[in-house]
A and B are shown apart, each in its own frame.
Chain A
């Protein structure tokens, strides 16, 4: 690849993901699945990711193919309609797919989260209708928890579902909803009484359901984010997922998996950043030699590499604890989420710096990774909340 003379668009790293690809904790099946996911990511996602970002385009065709390969219901048990793998497999898959495109993989992660909730807490009817639709990407599902006045303090939500005959009437506003305005199903977490938080399904085109404008975000451009507005939205009470009052517990159990997933997305993005930086350091010459000869840059690269490897290890360990339902799983998931999302953003940011002026140009892809990874420190529970959970677990 010639960076200086013939600038090509969207460089594909020469030996992408082949170095520093730990197989610690992975068995043969994980490796097989990782290979499939990585091959797909490199062929069908990586060459297009920058275009999707530039055009704010949600790549439905690619998401359909990914869903048909079994990547939309990864940790839903087979008897409930899913693929029946574990969280460690999900971590490996999301890491590999994020190498291709972080945002699209995150969209897939939301599908997995909603499928998990519908499968484990939904009625048989709900499962029979929605799980096959998620598996074929016939339905895009959005998870609606955050509100303008309740982010980290999500217990303080105001969206309320009042019983009326055999229906619920829901009023409220949800914000920062990924897939808002383009999803087929919205899983609304709302209060059904003073104390009870519940999850209720609202399908698109239900009267009273409307959306705010598509937010103009720093990154994650391939996923539209909007407010979801519910004005006297009437749905049958059979749209309740699980029991009344169970909504919070459901959310917390889904978030553990979701946090592993988002951390894994960070790992994939940082891997690409590291590969791009490596190619740049070996190609670019200044002062008569390759940048990779300068010790300052070597040290920086070494730190980035160690950072990526450690992040990967803690995420995989947390995934295994989640799979084994160990008592300290939430502690480790919180540690993994905060460590990996922070470290991987720094890896991407450092990789941008190593690119010098070219790092600032969209064409070199690295700035997209930085922009996309920035939000991972915030969503699925801010890293500040993660620290609260860790401290509470250790210091109580």
Chain B
């Protein structure tokens, strides 16, 4: 069984974000693999260790630095990597439907049995790509996975949903997007980091697989409003009045 794991290189969650008119300032900012993507890679590696899958291929879309996330995936245990190269802004111009279309092309080219990805990326928080990919391929999907079992070509996934936990079962091939509590990724060991250097990494320019349509345009990026001080009110009537006129709650 072959698994495709999609990973995205995003702004590190610990940094202090600087907002510029055209978007987040990425200049010199620490970037890292999207945490949910890392969880997806870890899950793929665990499935391979349980001998349920034979090969893990990691893929990313982005500029040449995007290869860092691929090497991280290779160091964690992926066997091969594909780098779809583009100079477009990965946090703005590389959008879910375009990504899903590109991934669909790769799935058709290489015949994967399973696609694993993070539920969303922490820069745009779209939470759409996995679902769209499943739609394009006409495959079953299980999103927000917190547990994955595979037996005889059937996937059983426990999903974390608003109402609690939902278990779904489907015959592979399918798409599964991973949520926080699915696993805790391991620390890559130095020997694995060095082995990763010699694992195959295929580079494909984006226009060979698809196009970026920019159908969603970012019109404005602004920092959240600075928190203003509170006020002590004398009685409940004043409180209600402030809630109505200032906080505009009702």
Chain A residues close to B by CB (< 8 Å)? 15, 18, 28-29, 32-33, 35-36, 39-40, 65, 68-71, 74, 83-85
Contacts and interface: CB of A to CB of B under 8 A. Distances in A.
A69 B14 contact: no
Contacts, number: 44
B197 A29 contact: yes
B189 interface: yes
Contact of B15 (A18, A33, A36, A65): A18
A36 B187 contact: yes
Interface in B1-28: 14-16
Interface of B: 14-16, 30, 32, 68, 71-72, 75, 187-191, 193-194, 197
A74 B190 CA distance: 9
10 contacts: A15-B15, A18-B14, A18-B15, A29-B193, A36-B190, A39-B187, A69-B190, A70-B189, A74-B190, A83-B191
A29 B197 CA distance: 9
B189 A68 contact: yes
A39 B189 CA distance: 12
B193 A36 contact: yes
B14 A33 contact: no
B68 A28 contact: yes
Contacts of A36: 187-190, 193
Given A69-B188, A83-B191, 15 more contacts: A15-B14, A18-B15, A28-B71, A29-B193, A29-B194, A29-B197, A32-B68, A32-B71, A33-B193, A36-B188, A36-B190, A40-B187, A65-B187, A69-B190, A70-B190
Nearest to B197: A29
A83 B194 contact: yes
Contacts of A84: 194
Q: Which 5 A-B pairs have the closest CB atoms?
A: A70-B190, A69-B189, A70-B191, A83-B190, A70-B189
A371 B14 CA distance: 30
Given A15-B15, A15-B16, A18-B14, A32 B187 contact: no
Question: For A39, A69, A84, which residue has the most chain B Cβ atoms within 10 angstroms?
Answer: A69
B16 A33 contact: no
Contacts of B187: 36, 39-40, 65, 69
A392 B68 CA distance: 45
Contacts of A18: 14-15, 30
